[in-house]
Amino acid sequence: MSERALLERFDLVTNDPENIPLLRRYIVNLAIRGKLLERPDADISASEMLNRIEAKAAILIKQGRLKKQKAMDPIRSEELPGPDMAHRTFERLGNLASLQKGLTGIQGATPGEFPLVTTGEGRSTCDHYDFDGTAAIVPMVSSTGHGHASLNRLHYQEGKFALGTILCAVFPIDEKLISARFLFEYLTAFRAELLVSKMNGTANVTLTIGKIAEVPVPIITPTVQGRVDELMSLCDQLEAATHEREKGRDRLLAASLQQLNQPSGNEPCCAGDHFIFDHLPRLTTRPAHIKQLRQTILNLAVRGKLVPQDPDDEPATELLHRVAVERSDLVKKGSIRREPPLEPVHPDAHPFAIPDNWIWARIGSAVLFTQYGTSLKSHTADNGVPVLTMGNIQDGRIIYRSEKRIPESSNELPALYLRKLDILYNRTNSAELVGKTGIYLDEDDARTFASYLIRIRSSPTSGCPHYLNLAMNTSEFRETQIIPLIKKQTGQANVNGTALKNMLVALPPLAEQYRIVAKVDELMKLCDQLEAQVTITAAATRRLLKAALHGALCPILQNAA
């Protein structure tokens, strides 16, 4: 099949950018299994290739340009990246290439002639450093990294360069027999099987030179490697075209959502907004798009733009009065402690404009009380009271999993039993997780919660916990109420109960709160449908991709069974 025809065919299955890496992996897989060309082994045998590489290595070692590789164990079938590759010839990477760790530190680098290659996307210039004084074309593997971010740290570099200390450069011993480009594509296609599986550590992951040297590499002929290179060039074109299309789609979606979020008085969605909603299926093609849409819906909700206002609704100020009376009754009964009144909300502190019959309120004034969870250490046990933790809070909901327990005889119970519609707020965690909230919808007096969570209890008659929970999960709330407090801290973030009670929330009349929640539920179901469709479409395109690959790249597969 011609390159043009191949491009035209794959354009149908590249709506999902994740398909391109899948395509690259499939091409490499075909090459390894000897099914990329009609006569893949016609030019030179694997044994002859290894003999030539070994002979050249001996010369380089004698000249002092290559270190002698210590003997390594024979390759076992379970080390190979696929179960159907055992019949192919493999050799350890350390016997095919020189593996050299960078000697140039980033902090001490000074401006120079050649670029400094690091694990980040960008480059800086530094003093000249070069392994052998000649231009190089090499793949590079990260030997150290933060967590499994190292998954994405495989580079391909051409020309002279200086190498950062945590990178390992792979120089083929004989570039004519084993090309650097093929090694890069092979290691990239199977990095999970070949590299990630060898990593040690969790917070800081390391991958030693010795481990990299042990990676098994298929011995395939230069002709097949050349065909891989040609097909990868097609993938580059597809990837570039897909990237440009996705950038355009992202810009269109961002502009559409921005229009929805633009202040336009206190009116609900206009005809133009409905037009955008009607065409969302064409704009939302990735999970990230759906996430943006969900946040836009929540932000519209707390701005009073999702449902119309009703002038006959009781003003929101009356809610605060009734909640204050209920709170005072609880104090008289000894159920909660009396606390000093919170400062009034000054108009200059309002984060954005809200409808006239809404009010800006501090959370502590809008709810009955807030309360820290149990300080008892919980344990894995069959009996006792389950303790919810920050891991149970996901996307505004409580997820029940991996629950440890405390004894039912604890003197903190029954006061710390959860009740249906309690909201849990995560006060201590890493910066991106502090401020998460979820609403408890299970039975009363069945679970409790840990001390780094805060329980928020609304009035059963003058509050709508579902509305408060969605308001606290908006990006507007996070940007204006959570992040400013986190920025003042170092290390683990902690936005405590006092800060929580002073946070501002846009409070509609109670009837409108319930209308907003109903509308949000309706639109979130639409998001669920869009998300499901994105998943179904992605799976279908992957199936089509595999079918197209069989027809376009490997016609001999039909005769190979």
Q: Do residues 92 and 72 lie in contact, with contact meaning Cβ atoms separated by under 8 Å?
A: yes
Whether residue 283 sits in one domain with residue 185: no
Is the Cα torsion angle 545, 548, 552, 558 positive or negative in sign?
positive
The DSSP letter of residue 290 is H
How many residues in total does the chain contain? 561
Distance CA 135, CA 118 (A): 18
**Cα(402)–Cα(90) distance, integer angstroms:** 43
Per-residue pLDDT of the chain (561 residues; tens, 9 = 90+): 444 544 455 555 555 667 788 788 888 988 888 877 766 555 788 899 999 999 999 999 999 888 888 889 999 988 998 877 888 899 999 999 988 876 655 555 556 666 666 555 433 334 444 434 344 445 555 555 444 444 455 767 666 666 666 677 888 999 899 988 899 889 888 888 888 887 776 556 777 888 889 999 999 999 999 989 888 888 888 777 777 766 666 665 565 555 555 544 445 554 444 444 555 555 556 677 778 788 888 988 999 988 899 999 999 999 999 999 999 999 999 999 999 989 999 999 999 999 999 999 999 999 999 999 999 998 888 889 999 998 899 888 898 877 889 999 999 999 999 999 999 999 988 788 889 999 999 999 999 999 999 999 999 999 999 999 999 999 999 999 999 888 666 667 888 999 999 999 999 999 999 999 999 998 888 888 877 877 777 777 667 666 666 655 544 333 333
Cross-strand partners of 158:
137
Q: Clarify whether residues 22 and 98 are in a common domain.
A: no
The residue out of 192, 220, 248 marking a domain boundary is 220
How many C-beta atoms surround the C-beta of residue 431 within 10 A?
Answer: 15
Residue 493 lies in a domain: yes
Query: Tokens in use for 292?
Result: 């943006």
Q: Specify the CATH number for the domain of residue 205.
A: 3.90.220.20
Q: Does some domain include residue 98?
A: yes
> Given the structure tokens 């530094």, which residue do they identify?
126
The counts of H helices and E strands in the chain are 18, 24
Give the per-residue pLDDT at 143: 52
Task: Look at residue 271 in the predicted model and tell me its pLDDT.
Answer: 41
Q: Give yes or no for a cis peptide into 414 (omega within 30° of 0).
A: yes
Q: Are residues 386 and 475 in the same domain?
A: yes
Asked whether 513 and 467 are in contact (CB, 8 A), the reply is yes
Q: Which domain holds residue 248?
A: 1-39+230-309+512-561
- The count of C-alpha atoms lying within 13 angstroms of the C-alpha of 291, restricted to the half-sphere facing its C-beta, is 6
CA distance 411 to 417: 11
- Count of domains forming the chain: 3
Q: 62 and 21, same structural domain?
A: no
The Cα–Cα gap between 316 and 100 comes to 68
How many Å separate Cα 355 from the centre of its chain? 36
pTM: 0.62
Do 115 and 262 lie in one domain? The reply is: no
* CA-closest candidate to residue 95, choices 79, 73, 76: 73
Task: Give the pLDDT confidence score for residue 364 in this predicted structure.
Answer: 95
The reply to whether 191 and 114 lie within a common domain is yes
Please check whether residue 431 is in contact with residue 488, taking contact to mean a CB–CB distance below 8 angstroms.
no
Name the domain boundary from 152, 186, 220.
220
Rounded to whole angstroms, the Cα distance separating 167 from 129 reads: 14
Query: Are both 349 and 462 inside the same structural domain?
Result: yes
Q: Chain centroid to CA 67: how far?
A: 40
